[in-house]
């Protein structure tokens, strides 16, 4: 992520916080994608194994990881688990 994009993202997160808007960060590939912004988030979701598969009969594209993420975001399932790495909240 470029420094300009990082600054813009941080600015948006801080503006959201000031306005009372909940910030939820979702990392779809690597936990390090959102590491710089964890302190400004109210919740962080890490989603892995985002391999897309296409049903040859219907043409529908899906991913078990994205399906699980959708279920968490809509309240069908509760998120749980631990990262195999530690991320610090930077100041």
Instruction: With cut-offs at 50, 70 and 90, classify the pLDDT of residue 35.
Output: confident
Q: Mention every residue, 6+ apart, whose C-beta is less than 8 A from residue 7.
A: none
User: Is the pLDDT higher at 49 or at 43?
Assistant: 43
Which residue(s) pair with 54 in the sheet? 61
Residue 90 to residues 17, 54, 65, Cα–Cα distance (Å): 17, 39, 28
pTM, rounded to two decimals? 0.69
- Spatial CA neighbour of 89 closest among 36, 10, 11, 47: 36
**Per-residue pLDDT tens digits for 46-59:** 887 767 888 899 99
Which residue(s) pair with 53 in the sheet? 62
């Amino acid at each position: 992520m470029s420094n300009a994009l990082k600054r813009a993202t941080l600015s948006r997160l801080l503006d959201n916080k000031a306005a009372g808007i909940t910030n939820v960060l979702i990392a779809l590939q690597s936990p390090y994608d959102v590491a710089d912004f964890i302190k400004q988030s109210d919740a962080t979701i890490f989603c892995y194994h985002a391999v897309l598969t296409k049903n040859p009969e219907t043409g529908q594209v899906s991913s078990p990881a994205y399906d699980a993420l959708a279920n968490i975001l809509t309240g069908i399932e509760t998120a749980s688990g631990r990262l195999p790495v530690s991320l610090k909240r930077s100041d």
